């Protein structure tokens, strides 16, 4: 009778071969064990550049299948282990990985056994939950596996990730107006200037009062600012202003911040205590969307409903920002935030808790989407009729290239947590009465 290898054994061999390829692909060493060893093989770490081995090892048990694992979706699956296997793995001196794979699809995922089954509930169920996004066995897992082999941080040969990556920043370039105008201002306090402008029906905030003078990027005689200034108007280029005054850079930063408030006054309100701008409520209190950085509509104001279908509060997208100069160029650092009201106007009494709650569950993609949305909003062109009165002009978000990659999955603390959408539309906890 001819000797045969059944389909199950063939799939098992293919799973081990897939692990071998993944391990070898990142420059580590794979050693296969005998069939009676209790584990299928081990990984020893080496420096791919020098070939130097580290004497740090991980034990590996492979479970391969061409069928779906229990509960498998595009996002996750689970695997139930045998008691005898768990007992054997937990008694091992080295870290043990369970690798589940679909060999023909070239897909594999790993779990570090010992910390998972140290949880009594996990041990009792013998069930391991896999998150496909964060537990892939691929090049990005190289550093995480090395860290498992040496949790005490003993001296070793490092194997850095060298994949190229583009980093998105929150720095938005701004073109500083060519002139700073200044004139004598007899007002003793800022509030005196504000009151005078309001009384004249021409209130504006794109100015800074300092040492008895008022500074602005717009000529004072062309606005209500002429009512609060006296004497001749001086003009100074920003570069010369910084050279002539040690505090000039700080004053320009302050002036840019106030000018942005004025430029966005048609859409945004300023929260003085919080120190941020936020989208004003719509007149009918219905959801408002604007075009985001990816060319898709994004919600910037919306009512939030409770479980009974009643309005619980209103969420306004907000922006904290700071202007800074780097090597002579000016940038606006964008930090997205949220503002909460009970009726579109008065701040919700639960605002602090709501903001804290959404910050805890937001993921990087949501924050990045908001940064891009704010950048697109600030960089939008003037209206076609040329009726806009904005002073500041913004460029495109700064990006930086790097030859060193970052394993984002390594930062995941709870792979079972459900991330909100970019607009966090499904998160409601408190209700204003």
Same domain flag for 169 and 99:
no
User: 241 vs 213, which has greater pLDDT?
Assistant: 213
**Rounded to an integer, what is the distance from CA 136 to the centroid of its chain?**
21
Residue 421 lies in a domain: yes
b/e burial code for range 257-271 (CB count within 10 A of at least 16 → b): bbbbebbbbeebbeb
Q: What is the pLDDT of residue 383?
A: 52
pLDDT digits (tens, 9 = 90+) for 218-263: 999 999 999 999 999 999 999 887 776 668 899 999 999 999 999 9
Two tokens, residue 283: 């007149």
Q: Is residue 409 within 8 Å of residue 140, measured between CB atoms?
A: yes
Quickly list H helices, 322-427.
351-361, 364-378
Does residue 42 lie within any of the structural domains?
A: yes
Question: How many domains are contained in the chain?
Answer: 2
Structural domain contains residue 222: no
Cα separation of the two ends of the chain: 82
Both 98 and 168 in a single domain?
A: no
The pLDDT of 276-297, averaged and rounded, is: 93
Whether 363 is in a domain gets the answer yes
Same domain, 427 and 288: yes
Domain identity same for 172 and 149: no
In the predicted model, is pLDDT for residue 426 greater than 70? no
Q: What is the pLDDT of residues 117-129, one digit of tens each?
A: 999 889 999 999 9
In a domain, 105, yes or no: yes
38 and 88 in contact (C-beta within 8 Å)?
yes
- The domain in which residue 55 lies consists of 7-160
Instruction: For residue 217, tell me if it sits in a domain.
Output: no
Same domain, yes or no, for 19 and 80?
yes
- CATH number, domain with residue 65: 3.40.1350.10
């Amino acid at each position: 009778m001819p000797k045969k290898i059944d389909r199950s054994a063939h799939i098992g061999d293919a799973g081990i071969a897939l692990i071998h390829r993944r391990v070898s692909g990142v420059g580590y060493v794979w050693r296969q064990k005998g069939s009676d060893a209790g584990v299928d093989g081990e990984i020893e770490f080496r420096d791919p550049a020098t070939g130097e081995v580290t004497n740090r090892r991980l034990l590996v048990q492979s479970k391969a299948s061409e069928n779906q694992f229990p509960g498998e979706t595009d996002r996750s699956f689970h695997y139930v282990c045998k008691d005898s296997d768990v007992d054997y793995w937990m008694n091992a001196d080295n870290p043990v990985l369970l690798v589940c794979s679909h060999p023909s699809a070239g897909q594999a995922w790993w779990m570090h056994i010992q910390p998972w089954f140290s949880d009594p509930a996990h041990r009792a169920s013998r069930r391991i939950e896999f998150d496909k996004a964060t537990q892939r066995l691929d090049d990005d897992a190289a550093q995480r596996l090395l860290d498992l082999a040496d949790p005490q941080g003993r001296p070793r040969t490092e194997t850095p990730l060298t994949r190229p990556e583009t980093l998105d920043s929150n720095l938005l370039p701004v073109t500083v107006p060519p002139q700073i105008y200044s004139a004598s201002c007899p007002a003793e306090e800022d509030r005196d200037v504000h009151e005078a402008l309001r009384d004249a029906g021409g209130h504006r905030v794109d100015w800074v009062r300092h040492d008895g003078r008022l500074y602005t990027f717009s000529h004072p005689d062309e606005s209500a600012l002429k009512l609060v200034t006296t004497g001749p108007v001086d003009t100074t280029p920003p570069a010369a202003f910084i050279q002539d005054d040690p505090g000039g850079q700080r004053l320009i930063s302050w002036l840019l911040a106030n000018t942005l408030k004025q430029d966005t006054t048609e859409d945004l309100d300023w929260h003085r205590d919080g120190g941020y701008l936020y989208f004003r409520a719509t007149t009918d209190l219905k959801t408002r969307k604007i075009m985001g950085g990816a060319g898709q509509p994004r919600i910037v104001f919306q009512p939030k409903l409770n479980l009974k279908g009643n309005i619980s509060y209103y969420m306004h997208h907000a922006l904290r920002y700071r202007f800074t100069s780097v090597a002579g160029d000016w940038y606006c650092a964008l930090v997205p935030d949220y503002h909460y009201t009970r009726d579109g106007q008065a701040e919700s009494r639960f605002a602090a808790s709501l903001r804290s709650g959404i910050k805890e569950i937001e993921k990087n993609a949501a924050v990045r989407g908001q940064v891009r949305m704010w950048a697109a909003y600030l960089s939008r062109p003037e209206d076609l009729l040329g009726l806009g009165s904005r002073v500041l002009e913004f460029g495109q978000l700064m990006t930086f290239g790097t030859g060193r990659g970052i394993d984002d999955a390594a930062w995941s603390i709870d792979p079972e947590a459900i991330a909100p959408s970019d607009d966090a539309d499904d998160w409601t906890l408190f209700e204003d009465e």
